[in-house]
Structure 1
Amino acid sequence: MEKIICCLLLCAVLLVNNLVESRRVSSSRRVSSRYGDASLATCSSDEECIIHNECDEVNQMTKKGRFTYEEEAYLRTKLCKFYRRVHHFCCKKQKVSIRLPQAPDCGLYFSDRIYSTSEDTYIDQYPWTAMIMYSKPGNRIESHCGGSLITERHVLTAAHCYSKVPKNWKLLHVRLGEWDRRSNPDCMEFINEVVCNDPYVDVPVKKVIEHPNYKKYSLNQHNDIALLELEYNVKFTTYVRPICLPIDPRIGQMNFTSHSVEVSGFQLNEKYANSSLTKKVYYLNVVDHDRCRQDIYTGSKAMVSNSQICAGIEEEKEFCNPDSGGSLMKEGIYPTSKFPHYQLIGIQSYGPERCATQYNPGVYTLVSQYMDWIVENIN
């Protein structure tokens, strides 16, 4: 008798388990809710399954207090989860807005040591300097252009750094936090201490956004500007930080003629291999725009536009050119902040092969003229 009772109890347990499992499987396919028996939807690649009160589209319908027949039928097709009496719907992925940082969150470096020659930089100076890395024949990975980190997700550079490099080069990633190309991490010796930075960071490039009006075969090189969207957000540190952009329109109206400006980088150029092993800085003066346009570049048949700015060094050196696509910047107090900080004034476009002087200056894309385009394309 005991054996019979045990068998009956075991059968009852198995039956209950089968019913629970059957109900669980069934509920994974269909849900019962205020929308009736509805099959769970599979969200498309541009949608996500989120709780109803986080979906703007659903909220717009619920504000009215009741649904029409068509709205209720539509919501049935979007119902993707019903858990603990909470509805989830397939909703368009919300676009995350990326803002341009403003001082003191950009344009600063925090060194408390004095270390400077006419060309050498301190180990954490110009932390927005980016190296654009290419894959070349023979499995070589090298950099021949630079750029400037402007957000946690974007680097600003010249359009020619993407469209005018040889066809067998492939843009791979952006290197941030580099100072000495011979070591990783880098260290700098002082009298009483040795200071080392963090290892550099290589961030893959997800997308290249060239200005739509850039023409790579034009002598003028107007609109020579591009955004590199990175695969993921970079973490800001002492050695990786963004430079400020001229967000305030008043900065775009400033006349920088004869002002001292700075360029930094590794002398990277997509055509020539004379690059520096360590990050350098050069101090230039902005050349009068009319003189640059009429007296200097007229003979070369290149037309310098109002969206370009010219700058060169006082005395010619053996080699002093900045990175192609690198930053022309100026430190000062601007309308957007009470803190002295660096603003990105220009992007290196073209100029003399070895050293741009005031009599034969380099030409830079004037960043303030492209702020609307930049803001539109970072979001």
Structure 2
Amino acid sequence: MIVLHRFLAIIGTLWFAFITFETSADASPSEQQCGNLNESQVKNGQRITELDEHPWIARIEFTDSQGDREHLCIGALINTRHVVTAAHCLDNADRDVSAVVLGDWDSSNNITERDCNPQGLCAPPPQRIELKSLAMHPDYTIHKVDNDIAVIKLARNAEISEYVQPICLPTAEEVSTGTADTALQVSGFVRPNRRNITKRIKMPFEKVRTEECQKKDRDNRIANSNICGSTEFNPMSGSALIEAHGEPRRFHLVGVAAAGFNSEPSLHLHTNVRLHLNWILQNSKM
């Protein structure tokens, strides 16, 4: 039997990741670029990103009734004021979403500290921005892995820099050909307590037919609309499924990590962003 869970408990075979799981700073949103891509970083074969790689990744902060804060989910910055994440991350009676942290590369550090790479290069301290409002997809339900997408509106604009930038939203039509140049990746952080990997990661995503995930789902909770595939490790909920294409090539957000099976390599599901593009645009107006 598949059981929906909260926080880091693993029950049954399917986990729901929440628990589990070039522009100037003063440029206007219309002038800002998105999905900036460095070809040498794309092809370096590393699992840990560089400091300025995938700078749209956000860590979502939750605060409980005692005032204790935890970062339990991931999101993707799509413009200076909005972050896309999984709806089930926000569907929690025990903790409230209190802020979003941008530009954080190493989750083991205090968010007030600068992150530095082994060569001694350091990024500015992360930006902690409180939220203004939340929008969960109206057709989301915790009883089915479907429409699992949400938009967080920030209380103020993110400061765009080399280390904090938005990712592009996708075109309405799928463009991936499965070649190395358009290969899918998962960008975000690895689920805690599974691997001692605290830095921002990128992992190749091997897409499979959604039926492969549905075969493992005896409770029939996986919708046909989900993108099914596998990565080396389990990503945290809300981690970004991204694709590089266009001229010049840029990264586009095509999926949001929603649920998966407790295994490594990790077989998991992403909400298909293309199917919800109009809803995201309506809820992310500046």
Q: TM-score, normalised to structure 2's length?
A: 0.79
Counterpart selection for 1:312 from 223, 226, 230: 230
Contact 2:188–2:200 (CA<8 Å) still a contact in 1? yes
CA contact (8 A) 2:183 2:244 kept: no
**Match 2:148 to one of 216, 221, 224:** 224
Partner of 1:242: 166
Whether the 8 Å CA contact 1:137–1:169 is kept in 2: the answer is: yes
1:140 and 1:130 map into 2 onto residues whose CA distance is 19
Q: Which runs of 5+ in 1 are unaligned?
A: 1-98
Distance between the aligned counterparts of 2:149 and 2:63, measured in 1?
22
The answer to whether the 8 A contact 1:145-1:323 is kept is: yes
Q: Is the 8 A contact 2:189 2:239 kept in 1?
A: no
The residue correspondences of 1:128-147 to structure 2 (distance < 5 A) are: 128-136=56-64, 138-147=66-75
Which residue in 1 is equivalent to 2:185?
262
Runs (4+) of structure 1 moved beyond 3 Å? 99-102, 109-118, 253-260, 272-276, 289-293, 297-300, 354-357
Task: Report the AA paired with residue 347 of structure 1.
Answer: V
Tell me the distance in 2 between the aligned counterparts of 1:298 and 1:353.
12
Q: Are the equivalent residues in 2 in contact too, given 1:127–1:240 (CA < 8 A)?
A: yes
Letter in 2 for 1:124: D
What is the one-letter code of the residue matched to 2:245? Answer: G
Matched, 1:332 2:245: yes
Asked if 2 retains the 8 angstrom alpha-carbon contact of 1:311 and 1:356, the reply is no
1:168-227 deviation per Cα after TM superposition (whole angstroms, max 9, x unaligned): 21211000000113252111133xxx21111100000110100001012x1x32100000
2:277 counterpart of 1:371 = yes
- CA shift, 1:277, in A, is 2.1
Counterpart residue number, 1:282: 203
1:161 and 1:213 map into 2 onto residues whose CA distance is: 15
SS in 2 for 1:369: helix
Aligned counterparts of 2:273 and 2:178: Cα–Cα separation in 1:
13
Amino acid paired to 2:207: V
Residue aligned with 2:184, SS: strand
Q: Residues 188-203 of structure 1 correspond to what in structure 2 (within 5 A)?
A: 188-190=117-119, 194-203=120-129
Residue 362 (1) aligns with residue 268 (2): yes
Supply the distance in 2 between the matched residues of 1:300 and 1:273 (Cα, whole angstroms): 26
- Alignment match of 1:299 (pick from 176, 194, 218): 218
Deviation at 1:230, TM superposition (A): 0.4
CA contact (8 A) 2:259 2:269 kept: yes
Q: CA 1:263–1:170 in 2, change beyond 3 Å: closer, same or farther?
A: same
Aligned to 1:83: none
Superposition deviation, residue 354 in structure 1? 4.7
Cα-to-partner distance string for 1:277-304 (whole Å, 9 max, x where unaligned): 21122112111244444xx345342233
Q: Contact 2:242–2:252 at 8 Å: present in 1 too?
A: yes
Q: Across the two proteins, how many residue pairs are aligned to each other?
A: 254
Q: How does 1:73-222 map to 2 (within 5 A)?
A: 105-109=33-37, 118-136=46-64, 138-163=66-91, 165=92, 167-181=93-107, 182=109, 184-190=113-119, 194-216=120-142, 218=143, 220-222=144-146
Given that residues 74 and 238 in structure 2 are in contact (C-alpha distance below 8 angstroms), is that contact kept between their aligned partners in structure 1?
yes
AA matched with 2:168: C
**Greater gyration radius:** 1
Cα shift readout 1:242-280 (whole Å, capped 9, x = no counterpart): 00101x3233x65769973211222247xx786742112
Report the Cα distance in structure 2 between the residues aligned to 1:128 and 1:143, rounded to whole angstroms: 16
Q: Which has the higher contact order (CA 8 A, sep 6+)?
A: 2
Query: Which sections of structure 2, spanning at least 5 residues, go unmatched?
Result: 1-27
Is the counterpart of residue 344 in structure 1 residue 285 in structure 2?
no
- Call closer, same or farther: CA 1:201–1:325 in 2, change over 3 Å: same
Q: Report if aligned partners of 1:159, 1:214 keep a CA contact under 8 Å in 2.
A: yes
Mapped partners of 2:173, 2:43: distance in 1: 33
Asked whether the equivalents of residues 176 and 183 of structure 2 are also in contact (C-alpha less than 8 Å), the reply is no
C-alpha RMSD of the superposition: 2.9
Q: Is the 1:109–1:238 contact (alpha carbons within 8 Å) kept by the matching residues of 2? A: no
Q: In the aligned structure 2, how far is the partner of 1:263 from the partner of 1:210?
A: 22
Task: Name the one with the larger helix percent.
Answer: 1
